[in-house]
A and B are shown apart, each in its own frame.
Chain A
Amino acid sequence: DSGVTQTPKHLITATGQRVTLRCSPRSGDLSVYWYQQSLDQGLQFLIQYYNGEERAKGNILERFSAQQFPDLHSELNLSSLELGDSALYFCASSVAGPDTQYFGPGTRLTVL
């Protein structure tokens, strides 16, 4: 158990819909990272937040957005969902920088 929690574990929705994925980092970690992993693909870095502020951006679509709240939990919002958005979405946390990231169990999103 990494100490990072993600909810929900599984999510099934339809094209065009909007969903919110939630992540709670390890106690004491200020940075949260979001990743997308499509079937048989590598991890794609989406975005990083540090202490409530956006710190780095990767290959995140405009239809996706994220935020980190004062209690340091983070949410990833996916809108206008497409079939190709079906993937595992991982959240990771670290104390500050990316030196050691601890990954959550992931949320499996299926868009039908």
Chain B
Amino acid sequence: KNQVEQSPQSLIILEGKNCTLQCNYTVSPFSNLRWYKQDTGRGPVSLTIMTFSENTKSNGRYTATLDADTKQSSLHITASQLSDSASYICVVSSSYSSASKIIFGSGTRLSIRP
């Protein structure tokens, strides 16, 4: 069964600290993995996208890693800021052409405390 599981479900850290969010998937065949940031009540915004051959990608203070062998990804946030408070969603795609199988994780809700 195609699944994307994220952990932890929620996380509270102090401003300035680092954190790492996890994503495990069983989607097959694998096309790409994306991390999105979703502020409350807003649409998700893409942070990173990685294909099978990529094992790390950075976007400012956000660094995503991908281990296609173990089917695991992580999102590392460095020097957290209050504006990082949001839900972070891992999305795995299995794509043949323009047809697509899109599996969303349930997200990790991150809260940054001053």
B44 in complex: contacting residue of A41, A97, A103, A108, CB < 8 Å: A103
Residues of chain A contacted by B42 (CB below 8 angstroms): 105-106
* Interface residue stretch chosen among B17-25, B55-63, B91-99: B91-99
* Interface residues in chain B, defined as those with a beta carbon under 8 Å from any beta carbon in chain A: 31-32, 34, 41-46, 49, 89, 93, 95, 97-102, 104-107
Residues of chain A contacted by B49 (CB below 8 angstroms): 99-100
Q: Which of B31, B41, B44, B100 has the most CB of A within 10 A?
A: B100
Please give the distance in Å from A16's CB to the nearest CB on chain B.
26
Q: CB of A48 within 8 A of chain B?
A: yes
Does B95 contact A42, Cβ atoms closer than 8 Å?
A: no
Which single residue of chain B is at the shortest CB-CB distance from A95?
B98
Q: Which of A4, A42, A98 has the most CB of B within 10 A?
A: A98
- Name A75-112 residues within 8 Å CB distance of B: 88, 90, 92, 96-106, 108
Please give the distance in Å from A5's CB to the nearest CB on chain B.
11
**Could you list some 22 contacts between A and B, CB below 8 A?**
A42-B89, A42-B106, A43-B44, A44-B104, A45-B104, A48-B100, A55-B98, A56-B100, A56-B102, A90-B44, A92-B43, A97-B31, A97-B99, A98-B93, A100-B34, A100-B46, A100-B49, A103-B43, A105-B42, A105-B43, A106-B42, A108-B41
Between A and B, how many residue pairs show CB distances below 8 Å?
66
Q: CB of A2 within 8 A of chain B?
A: yes
Residues of chain A contacted by B105 (CB below 8 angstroms): 42
* Interface residues in chain A, defined as those with a beta carbon under 8 Å from any beta carbon in chain B: 2, 4, 30-31, 33, 41-45, 48, 50, 55-56, 58, 88, 90, 92, 96-106, 108
